[in-house]
Structure formats: C-alpha cells, structure tokens
C-alpha cells in the first residue's frame, strides 16, 4: 500500500475532515494514481482523463481510430481500443473500491495524438493526418465533437467501462460510477452522447446480465455550457466545472502560451494578483460558475456539482467553491491534503461569519 502523510499531519487532517462540508476528490488516471490519492485522503476520483491512458507507447491505439483508412480498419482499431480500456478500467475501478469515480470519455486534442509531419506510416496516412491538423487544436475537434464524428468511439469506451464494472462487482467491490462527457457547449451534443452511453449500458446488460448503476454528467467548461446550464441539467445528473478550459475560453487566453507571454506582465502591472489559471477569478470565471449553479439547480435541485480544473487545489478557489455550496473539489493527488485543510478553513470562517452577523 502507498504511504500517506506522516502521523502528526494525518491527525491534523482528520480534525480538518471533521470540520469541512466540501468533499475532496482527486484527479487520477491510473490505478497507481488512485492509490496515491486515497492514501492522501481523497474521497474518490473526480476526474479520470481517459485520453491520458493512451499517451506514450499506447498512442497508436487512438491514432489508428482517428486515422483509419476505411470503416473496417476503424472497427478493428476500435475493438483494440475497447480491449485495452477494459483492462485499464478493471484496474482503475479495483483501486477505487466503493468510492465515487468520475470517468471522462475521451477528450483528445488532436495535436497530442496525430503523427507529426513526416512521421506517418505512409503517404496515404500522412494525407489523412494533414486533413486533420488544426491551427487551434484546443478549440477544434476535441471532446464530444470527436465522438460525434466517430460514433462508435464513446460506445466502445462505455462498453469497456460497464463490462469492467460488472467484472469488479463480481469480486464484491461496487464503485460509484459517474460517466462524464467533455467539452460540451450544446445541449444537443450532450443528449447525443448520453444516448451512446445508454446504448452501451443496455448492450452490456444484455451480454452480461448486469445492469450497471451509473450517473451521467457533463463537464461545464465552455461559457455557453455555463449559460445553458438549465438546459444541460435536463440531461445530466452531475456537472463538473472544468475551470482550465473555462478560464481559457472566458478570457480568450491560451492555456498553453499565455502564462509566459501575457500573465507575468499583467501581474507586474497589478492588473491581476494571480494567474487566472491558478486562482478562480470571482468576477469572470467564478461568476459564470455561480450563474450555472443557479440555473442548474432551478431545473434539477439535487444536481451534484464539482470542480475538476487546477483551481480545485487552490485554497482561495476552494473557499469560493465552498461558499457556492458545491459538493466537492477534485485536484491533483499531491494537493489533496492542502485541499482538505482549505475546505475546513473555509467552513470555520463561514461559521464564524454567520455567528458574527447574528450578533
Ligand atoms: C478543465 O478544462 O478544467 C479540465 C479539468 O479538463 P482538461 O484539463 O483535461 O481539459
Ligand atoms: Mg477541459
């Protein structure tokens, strides 16, 4: 088993856990990351980025799907992907145990997965890759958009996930499964993706006899998704705010470049006290989240709400999430102890403020 914090810190963190209201989960993509997160006190996984399971030497598994020459080649590539994911998910769910786990279906920005110019297997593949190269891949064929183009992609992943859940449940472990759709900005996108997931659950039930319990939800990480939160809530049992993309799209600041080129100078000038990618800005991104929370709850009062962007590990941003009444934050495993403390601090301050105003 993985070592947790030293005993004195563990005691302190347990006190903090007794005081906080806000849940703390971790972003984790593999069984090993889940074990580390749990050892540090994460209550579950708030974001498993399934595209990360294909980086490194497993990259061809996605590349073959995206660059398949014809339908038969694509089907073959999809079954290889499904098999690999079945193993990934069995290991992940076993490590999660009975805790909640949000598995996000593929959000693969194409520049991370296409061969570089000259790296393709042959001229025909290079031609197909060239047709897919984008000037702004983070704004391009990502997330649910790719799934709508390749309609067997999400069903393949979801079937692997539900089959893995059934296998793990047979050993007595029942992870609380949440299936999440990324980069949605239209309710129609979410409805279509939800239908793929439902179809996969039905296929697995027919094949295995197991009706896998799961919740379906969406990332809210585009300004339009935040504005249409009420409509999205009709199709979603939970939302997870993706504050990385939401910051990028609200400011129009590139996640990949702006830190170096703009934000350092803005902080020197005093325009910004912190990078908006590190700390939730209550007037911009934070205001969009607040609006989305209100609109979502007016349609589905019990909708489960979390944050899974980097901000989920920042104490000031955590206080903001706590005040909004979100259910949990999810951050990198190594920030979980700080998040537990920050959530407790925020709860204590809110109590103090309430008793102060009563006087
Ligand atoms: C986000 O956008 O905040 C998020 C958590 O997703 P990713 O970082 O994978 O785009
Ligand atoms: Mg995102």
CA dihedral 157, 42, 245, 277 (to 10 degrees): -160
**Which amino acids bring their CB within 6 angstroms of ligand 1?**
47, 49, 107, 221, 242-245, 308-309
CA of 29 to the centre of ligand 1 (A): 13
pLDDT at residue 2, rounded to an integer: 78
User: What CA–CA distance (Å, rounded) separates 187 from 220?
Assistant: 11
Predicted structure pTM score: 0.96
On whether the CB atoms of residues 101 and 69 are closer than 8 A, the answer is no
CA of 106 to the centre of ligand 2 (A): 11
pLDDT at 70 over 70: yes
Q: Whose CA is nearest to atom 1 of ligand 1?
A: 242
What secondary structure, in 3-state letters, does 212-270 show? CCEEEEEEECCHHHHHCHHHHHCCCCEEEECHHHHHHHHHCCCCCCHHHHHHHHHHHHC
Q: Ligand 1 atom closest to Cα of 182?
A: 6
Q: Whose CA is nearest to atom 4 of ligand 1?
A: 242
- Give the model's confidence band at 1: pLDDT under 50 very low, under 70 low, under 90 confident, else very high: low
Return the percentage of the chain with pLDDT > 70, whole number.
99
The complex's ipTM? 0.99
Residues 6+ apart with CB under 8 A from 80: 61, 64
Strand partners, 218: 181, 239
CA of 309 to the centre of ligand 2 (A): 7
- From 28, 108, 143, 219, the mutation candidate for ligand 1 (largest count of ligand atoms within 8 A of CB) is 219
Reported as a single tens digit per residue, the pLDDT across 317-346 is 999 999 999 999 999 999 999 999 999 999
- DSSP helix/strand/coil, 109: coil
CA of 245 to the centre of ligand 1 (A): 6
Q: Counting Cβ atoms within 10 Å, is residue 352 exposed (0-12), middle (13-18) or buried (19+)?
A: exposed
Neighbours of ion ligand 2 (CB under 5 A): 221, 242, 245
User: What CA–CA distance (Å, rounded) separates 129 from 71?
Assistant: 16
Reported as a single tens digit per residue, the pLDDT across 301-318 is 999 999 999 999 999 999
- From 308, 317, 321, the mutation candidate for ligand 1 (largest count of ligand atoms within 8 A of CB) is 308
CA of 247 to the centre of ligand 2 (A): 10
Q: Ligand 1 atom closest to Cα of 310?
A: 3
Reported as a single tens digit per residue, the pLDDT across 253-278 is 998 887 777 898 999 999 999 999 99
Six token digits for residue 106: 């593929």
Reported as a single tens digit per residue, the pLDDT across 37-61 is 999 999 999 999 999 999 888 999 9
User: What CA–CA distance (Å, rounded) separates 257 from 251?
Assistant: 13
């Amino acid at each position: 088993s993985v070592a947790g914090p030293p005993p004195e810190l563990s005691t302190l963190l347990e006190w903090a856990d007794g005081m906080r209201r806000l849940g703390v989960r971790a972003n984790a993509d593999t069984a090993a990351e889940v074990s580390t997160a749990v050892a540090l006190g994460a209550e579950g996984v708030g974001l498993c980025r399934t595209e990360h399971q294909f980086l490194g030497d497993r990259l061809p598994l996605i590349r073959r799907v995206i660059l398949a020459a014809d339908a038969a080649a694509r089907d073959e590539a999809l079954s290889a992907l499904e098999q690999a994911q079945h193993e990934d998910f069995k290991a992940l769910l076993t490590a999660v145990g009975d805790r909640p786990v949000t598995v996000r279906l593929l959000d693969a920005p194409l520049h991370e997965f296409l061969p570089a110019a000259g790296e393709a297997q042959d001229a025909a593949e290079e031609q197909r890759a060239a047709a897919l190269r984008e000037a702004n891949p983070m704004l391009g064929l990502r997330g649910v958009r790719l799934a709508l183009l390749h309609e067997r992609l999400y069903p393949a992943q979801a079937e692997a996930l539900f089959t893995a859940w059934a296998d793990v449940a047979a050993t007595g472990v029942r992870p609380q499964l949440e299936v999440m759709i990324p980069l949605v900005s239209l309710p129609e996108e979410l409805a279509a993706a939800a239908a793929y997931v439902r179809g996969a659950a039905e296929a697995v039930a027919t094949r295995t006899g197991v009706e896998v319990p799961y919740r379906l939800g969406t990332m809210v990480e585009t300004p339009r998704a935040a504005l249409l939160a009420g409509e999205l809530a009709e199709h979603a049992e939970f939302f997870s705010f993706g504050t990385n993309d939401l910051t990028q799209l609200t400011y129009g600041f590139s996640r990949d470049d702006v830190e170096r080129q703009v934000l350092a100078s803005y902080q020197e000038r005093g325009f910004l006290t912190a990078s908006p990618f590190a700390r939730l800005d209550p007037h911009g991104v934070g205001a969009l989240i607040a609006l989305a929370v209100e609109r979502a709850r007016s349609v589905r009062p019990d909708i489960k709400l979390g944050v899974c962007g980097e901000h989920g590990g920042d104490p000031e941003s955590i206080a903001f999430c706590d005040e909004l009444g979100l259910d949990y934050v999810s951050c990198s495993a190594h920030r979980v102890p700080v998040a537990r403390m920050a959530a407790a601090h925020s709860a204590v301050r809110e109590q103090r403020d309430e008793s102060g105003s009563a006087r």
